[in-house]
Amino acid sequence: MISLFRLLTFCLPLFLTTSGMAERELWKVGVSSETVTPNGPMWMAGYAGRTRPSEGKTHDLFVKALALQSADGTRMVFVTSDLISVPRPIRDTLEKQVAEKFGLSPDELMINCSHTHCGPEIRTTRWALDGLPPERLQAATEYAEFLQRTLLKVVGDALVDSSPAKVSYCRARCGFAMNRRTPSPTGFRNFPNPDGPVDHDVPVLRIDTPEGKLRAVMFGYACHNTTLGFYKFCGDYAGFAQQYLENAHPGVTALFVLGCGGDQNPYPRRTLSLARQHGRSLSNAVETALETDAKPLPPAIKSAIGMATVDYQRPPSRDTLLQLARSTNKYERIHAERLLKQLDTEGHLRQQYDCPVQVIRFGTNLTLIALPGETVVDYSLRLKNELSIGDGSGPSVWVAGYSNDVFAYVPSRRVLLEGGYEAGGAMRYMTTVLQHGPFTPTVEERIVSKVHELIRKLVSKSSVR
Ligand SMILES: [Zn+2]
């Protein structure tokens, strides 16, 4: 019988020669996944007009983690979720927990949500919980606690799963996202606009074993995850795309990262079969990206996170709010009542918000920017334009929205000045953070200049080394 020692001494050189890669050329990568579908009926997130709790599921909702470790031991953990939002308290708690348990710093953690409108409501803040009936309050609180525990578990599991891997970047395109802001005589309305800006890039991070077997794909797309608005739990097009990829590649984990899709919708929409079709289109785009020559990413990573302070326009007076509280529009009335309560209990309405901006550099080959809020497409188009080198020799640029704190729509200066839903009209529907109205037109510059500041910090850090 061949001894274990002989087997190991036989296999080890074989492993190194078949992979053909020395340890210093490889990353260490781990992946993990957990379902977060509520066990029973729960109120759902995304549409203010829902009138009853969920009624079953189409498929499960997941949180997933991808943990990377570079050759010098620097780590980065990406967490993705089939959920409406990343409320700041969830991110802050997870940030503390992973620092204590795993020694991760805040910049080494990125959390993104798919923004499916067929997931459970996530209520964690005072204003999101205010006035809920006791039963709904209890269900929301228990779910938030369960989610928090599960997020910590996926991060821990992904770190434990760590094994040598190759990481590369590729991309393709997918066309079902369309701009949803159409000018009309009464302002911009939510309607497909074939002339509006779009970002059809599908960036893909591919993870292979040293021998070249696919282990995971993390892919992005800039489009609201809103084909559906029914009463079943469902990951919508992003959920189907991940499901199709995992079915086609058994053992592979597929993670979806939502881009700057604040003003983009999937069209056509409203039926389950369309959600499946869009999911298929996106999974096909990822398959196509996997067929291209992927750009190898040597095992080097640096990340930085910082706060961009954005200002709100002048708040309404108490008299105006009292008037609005008598409005015949239910949503306007409720918003005014909540703001009056905020004024009474806190003494003032919000004037500023500090939102997290994150930059992750994969050596000099790929820069991933994670923006907060429901960022509109102008951000990804602008940043890709400003950060890419025209001849393709510079770093590829991947811009994610809906990351680390989804507190409001984040319009560009253009969208803000045009007005409409994403410009500030949606503020009355925001539950997690109570906000009275639009940001000032400086919002875009505050966020973009923070991105550039963080990149400069990372570049100077690398050149010092
Ligand atoms: Zn949205």
Ligand 1 centroid – CA 456 distance (Å): 31
Q: Quick one: tokens of 57?
A: 């599921």
* pLDDT in the model for residue 151: 98
Mean pLDDT over 211-225 rounds to: 98
pLDDT value for 9: 37
Say how many Å lie between the CA of residue 390 and the centre of ligand 1.
Answer: 32
d(CA 373, CA 356) in angstroms, rounded, equals 9
For the cut 80, the answer to whether the pLDDT of residue 29 exceeds it is yes
Ligand 1 centre distance from Cα of residue 400 (Å): 14
**pLDDT band with cut points at 50, 70 and 90 for residue 4:** very low
Distance, CA 198 to ligand 1 centroid (Å)? 16
| Locus of tokens 């994403």 | 422
The alpha carbon of 354 and the centre of ligand 1 are apart by a number of angstroms equal to 20
Cα separation values, 158 from 164, 189, 211, 219, 242, Å: 13, 43, 20, 18, 18
Residue 20 phi, psi dihedral angles, 5° rounding:
65, 20
Banded pLDDT at 25 (limits 50, 70, 90):
confident
Q: Is the pLDDT of residue 223 over 80?
A: yes
Length of the chain, in residues: 465
79 pLDDT exceeds 50?
yes
pLDDT for 356-388, tens place per residue? 999 999 999 999 999 999 999 999 999 999 998
pLDDT digits (tens, 9 = 90+) for 138-194: 999 999 999 999 999 999 999 999 999 999 999 999 999 999 999 999 999 999 999
What does the pLDDT read at residue 464?
A: 55
Structure tokens at 10: 């036989």
Q: In the chain, pLDDT over 90 holds for what percent of residues?
A: 90
Secondary structure of the chain as H, E, C letters: CCCHHHHHHHHHHHHHHHHCCCHHHCEEEEEEEEECCCCCCCCECCCCCCCCCCCCECCCCEEEEEEEECCCCCEEEEEEECCCCCCHHHHHHHHHHHHHHHCCCHHHEEEEECCCCCCECCCCCHHHHCCCCHHHHHHHHHHHHHHHHHHHHHHHHHHHCCEEEEEEEEEEECCCEEECEEEECCEEEECCCCCCCCCCEEEEEEEECCCCCEEEEEEEECCCCCCCCCCCECCHHHHHHHHHHHHHCCCCEEEEEEECCCCEEECCCCCHHHHHHHHHHHHHHHHHHHHCCCEECCCCEEEEEEEEEEEECCCCCHHHHHHHCCCCCHHHHHHHHHHHHHHHHHCCCCCEEEEEEEEEEECCCEEEEECCCEECHHHHHHHHHHHCCCCCCCCEEEEECCECCCCCEECCHHHHHHCCCCCCHHHHHCCCCCCCCCECCCHHHHHHHHHHHHHHHHHHHHHHC
d(C-alpha 50, C-alpha 442), whole Å: 34
- Which one is predicted more confidently, 155 or 1? 155
The residues placing their C-beta within 5 Å of ligand 1, an ion, are 374
Average pLDDT of 41-55?
95
Mean pLDDT taken over the chain = 94
CA dihedral over 21, 22, 23, 27, signed as positive or negative: negative
Distance between Cα 44 and ligand 1 center (Å): 14
In the reported structure, the alpha carbon of residue 365 is separated from the centroid of ligand 1 by a whole-number distance in angstroms of: 31
Say how many Å lie between the CA of residue 424 and the centre of ligand 1.
12
On the CB side of 104, CA atoms within 13 Å amount to 29
Q: What pLDDT, on a 0 to 100 scale, did the predictor assign at position 463?
A: 66
Read off the DSSP letter of residue 393.
Answer: -
d(CA 98, CA 158): 12
Whole-number Å distance between alpha carbons of 386 and 455: 12
What type of residue sits at position 404? N
CA of 374 to the centre of ligand 1 (A): 6
Per residue in 278-331, pLDDT (tens digit) is: 999 999 999 999 999 999 999 999 999 999 999 999 999 999 999 999 999 999
pLDDT tens digit string along 264-277?
A: 999 999 999 999 99
Q: For residue 313, what are the CA distances in angstroms to 350, 436, 440? A: 10, 9, 5
45 Cα to the center of ligand 1, angstroms: 10
Asked if the model's pLDDT at residue 129 lies above 70, the reply is yes
* Gap from CA of 373 to ligand 1 centroid (Å): 9
**Does 5 score more than 60 pLDDT?**
no
Please give the distance, rounded to the nearest whole angstrom, from the Cα atom of residue 300 to the centre of ligand 1: 34
Does residue 390 surpass a pLDDT of 90?
A: no
Judged against a pLDDT cut of 80, whether residue 20 lies above it is answered with no
The top-scoring range by mean pLDDT among 2-6, 46-50, 139-143 is: 139-143
pLDDT tens digit sequence for 421-463: 999 999 999 989 999 999 999 999 999 999 999 999 999 877 6
Count of C-beta atoms within a 10 Å radius of residue 101: 12
pLDDT score recorded for residue 336? 97
